[in-house]
Amino acid sequence: MSPFVPDFDFQRVFIAPWARDLASFGWIALMGFFVTAACGLVGNFLVLRRMALVGDAISHSVLPGMAVAFILSQSRGTLPMFLGALVAGIVATVLIELIHKKSRVKQDAAIGIAFTSLFALGVILINLYAGKGGVDLDQECVLYGEIAFVPLEPMVVFAGQTLGPIPVVRMALVALVTALLIVLFYKELLVSSFDPALAVSLGISATVVHYALMGWLSVVVVSAFESVGAILVIAMLILPAATATFLSRRLPVMLGLTILHAALSAVLGVHLAVWLDCSSAGAMVVAGTALFCAAWVFNPTDGLLYRWFRERLKAPAVHPG
Amino acid sequence: MELEKHMGGTRNRQTMTANLGAHAMRAERAPLSHVFSLLSLLLCLLCPSSGHAARIGDLVETDLAEQALRFFTFQDPAVRYALLGSMLLGITCGLLGGFIVVRKMALVGDALSHAVLPGVALGFLWNMSKDPVAIFVGAVLAGLLGAAAVHLIKHTTRLKEDTALGLVLASFFAVGICLVTMIQRLPNGNKSGIDKFLFGQAAAIGEGDVKLMLVATGLAVLMILLFYKEFLVTSFDAGFARSVGFPVQAIHYGLMLLLAFAVVIALQAVGVVLVSAMLITPAAAAYLLTDRMHRLLALAALFGLCAGALGAFLSFLRPNLPTGPLMVLAATAVFVLAFLFGPRHGVVARWWRRRSGAARIQRENTLKAVYHVLEAREFKGEGVSLRELAERRRETVEDARQQAVELRRHDFATLQQDGNAIYLTPEGWQRACAIVRNHRLWELYLTNAAHIAADHVHEDAEKIEHVLGEEVVRLIEKRLNYATHDPHGRAIPGLADLRRGEAPASPLPGATGYGRST
């Protein structure tokens, strides 16, 4: 039996990917960075607005739409996938509202019913129809993505320059536009997230901001879907923002920390995947979780370690002797 | 909550529960005997008469009904365990789901179910095989660790519960995915069937699995029976539970443990990704159908059982269909049926009620208009012509005719003079009197008791006249000293008016309050 955990070889894990296999690992790490950065930037606002599980619901419920689009168009083209996912996302929202409003089922259960049903439908559609006609979209892709195949995708050539594999370029665009949108609408997002009443008095429509955020969230989720799957994308949405909340209380700093977290977890994740020879997307999330835990334990304002010391320092003062 | 009010009435209602077919939740009286009857029923099913046949998936040439018959009568030894396991998981998930749904912890179930994946993988690694016990222990431990992590994040950081749930769900799942891909890389890992834990494969359920599931289900049912009262009270009124000395936190963790049991039982057939649906959907369907907790649990278990069996059957119809999604869709179908056709909360029932309610109000308003016409001519002459009615209500004669036909259909009136005049029947007269009485009594009550100006009370009375019950009318009359006239000076129809049974030529002398003549 081969060892379950391979020996740690510094040369193999940390040097070889950059020295020898840059062409593949570079693209994987870059893709991971763009996915995590785009998701994390949007995720900051989800966490602030206590909508973290909306990302969960959306990432699950877009599946049947993508499956139908895939079956109808027999390709994994960007446009049909986006359209299908968009329709499915709207259907999911309508279903949740319908169940919630028209019956006495509470909202959390309504979300649970709607997204699991849609996800189940998507998985069955993929099982029945995918794999026929040469293009495949299988269960594993749904669960943990195919980020490892990114370097094999055809390259985008623009104005004589080779930019990179199609998914990486697409994701980079999405991440850039996300950052741009946040810069442009920073005030609106900030005010409506922290103080909806003030937002209304300033003439910012909370509904418009909400739906715009939801819309852009689904765009990000759909573009990330192929690389990291339906469930890991939730981690990409929440982890960077949650880590950032430990380290700062100012939104601009938190957004910056999100980017840093994205870069670190992508690079560390690639190394972890090389070492353990496991799913790259999974490893990136594990690396991100490790960063989260480190921030949780060691952060200087209310980290676990700091709390522990504070308790110990306080204790003798209260009970002398 | 409605449910808790009825806790005391549980005992009286038990006979009705028995009709629902599930034995589990008749809490107070001899709980053990029901567990035994449930288990013995399952054991009987384990030992069917005939065997010796190819598995269902091979018999593609037989028709669907025959396949269904073979599947559900346990004739096919290959699918016997699969069906049994699916039914067991349906029962456990339904029971636990009932508590999850009423406690509004649906998404906790979701997080917990994803969090067990690393435990499954580690249990598998224990001796590199699908040892049910090792996987069970690993998964339960991972689930509890996940619940503890959610608790810890919630209480030591500024992060809110939804973020904590999402974090635990996704990070545990990621660790699990890494472990699963590492297992698949091992020489015999690819054939191990570990990937079947993701979307479920009922066919993979073996004898050992079923035994373990049986023990776990029995344990869960037993715990729920023993601590039914505790679970019930903490679910609906944690403050009260704390005040009477229940260890609320401990009960919460007990429920988490049972929830982890349910998730793990369901793993093999439903898979990690969709277990939460088997927890939420059958229970939510039951929640639409009843107000009593014990009935809700029984129904949820029944729905879970049906969804489990149906999903397992469908997944056997074609090779390689994942069982989990099919079970989830079966449960969703049950939910949709309950959502649409539930007798009290169903969409159709409520639409029908609203429609028939609107029709009743329309009829009563017509009767009231007829009364007003009669009153305007001081009850002289019989019958009201459609023209008079139409003028009174400021509408066309055609509308009045439609309403007259509607009155006749309910035996409130007869049509005479070629259908151009309405003659109220005794019932119609009585109803008309009652509505006018309700209206004027309420106006008087608002003016006298609530001191609302007399010209502001009509609109309110227009609405309430259709819903006042006789008992309330009696109380209001008493409160108003059996007054005879409303604030606008018109007579309030009394009992004597009602008793005439037909349109009178003139009001009875001294016709007064309803209660006085009795």
Q: Would you list the domain boundaries of chain A?
A: 10-151+162-318
β-strands B384-385, B413-416 pairing: unpaired
**Alpha-carbon span B301 to B93, nearest angstrom:** 7
**Is residue B49 predicted with pLDDT exceeding 50?**
no
> Which of B100, B108, B74, B361 is closest to B235 using CA atoms?
B100
The C-alpha angle with vertex A276 and arms to A293 and B170, in degrees rounded to 5, equals: 40
Q: Which residues of chain B have a CB within 8 Å of the CB of A304? A: 156
Q: A239 and chain B: CB distance < 8 Å anywhere?
A: yes
Q: Report the pLDDT averaged over residues A103-122.
A: 88
Confirm or reject CATH 1.10.3470.10 for domain B26-48+79-276, answering yes or no. yes
Q: Would you list the domain boundaries of chain B?
A: 26-48+79-276, 347-518
What pLDDT does A117 receive?
A: 92
Helix (H, G, I), strand (E, B), or coil: what is residue B421? strand
Domains B26-48+79-276 and B347-518 share a fold: no
Q: Does the distance separating the beta carbons of A108 and B174 come in below 8 Å?
A: no
Which CB contacts under 8 angstroms, 24+ apart, belong to A254-258? A254/A44, A255/A41, A255/A44, A255/A182, A258/A37, A258/A40, A258/A41, A258/A43, A258/A44
Average confidence score pLDDT of chain B: 79
Query: Given pLDDT bands bounded at 50, 70 and 90, which one contains residue B53?
Result: very low
Query: Do residues A62 and A121 make contact, with C-beta atoms less than 8 angstroms apart?
Result: no
Interface A-B: count of C-beta contacts within 8 A: 205
Q: Does the distance separating the beta carbons of A246 and B170 come in below 8 Å?
A: no
Give the sheet arrangement for strand B421-424, strand by strand: B384-385, B421-424, B413-416
Q: Report the pLDDT averaged over residues B201-218.
A: 85
Q: Tens digit of pLDDT for each residue in B56-113?
A: 444 444 567 777 777 777 666 667 888 888 889 999 999 999 998 988 888 888 888 8
Q: Does the distance separating the beta carbons of B277 and A106 come in below 8 Å?
A: no
Q: Tens digit of pLDDT for each residue in A123-172?
A: 888 888 765 544 456 666 777 777 877 787 777 777 777 778 888 888 99
What pLDDT does B190 receive?
A: 59
Q: Which CATH number fits domain A10-151+162-318: 1.10.3470.10, 1.20.120.1630, 1.10.3720.10, 1.10.10.10?
A: 1.10.3470.10
> How large is the C-alpha radius of gyration of chain B?
32
Query: Do residues B428 and B413 make contact, with C-beta atoms less than 8 angstroms apart?
Result: yes
**Is residue A265 predicted with pLDDT exceeding 90?**
yes
**Alpha-carbon span B93 to B220, nearest angstrom:** 10
Q: A52 and chain B: CB distance < 8 Å anywhere?
A: yes
B-contacting residues in A 171-200 (Cβ below 8 Å) = none
**Alpha-carbon span A122 to A115, nearest angstrom:** 10
**Alpha-carbon span A256 to A246, nearest angstrom:** 13
Confirm or reject CATH 1.10.10.10 for domain B347-518, answering yes or no. yes
Nearest to B284 among A2, A105, A235 (CB): A105
Q: Which residues of chain A have a CB within 8 Å of the CB of B175? A: 282, 286, 289
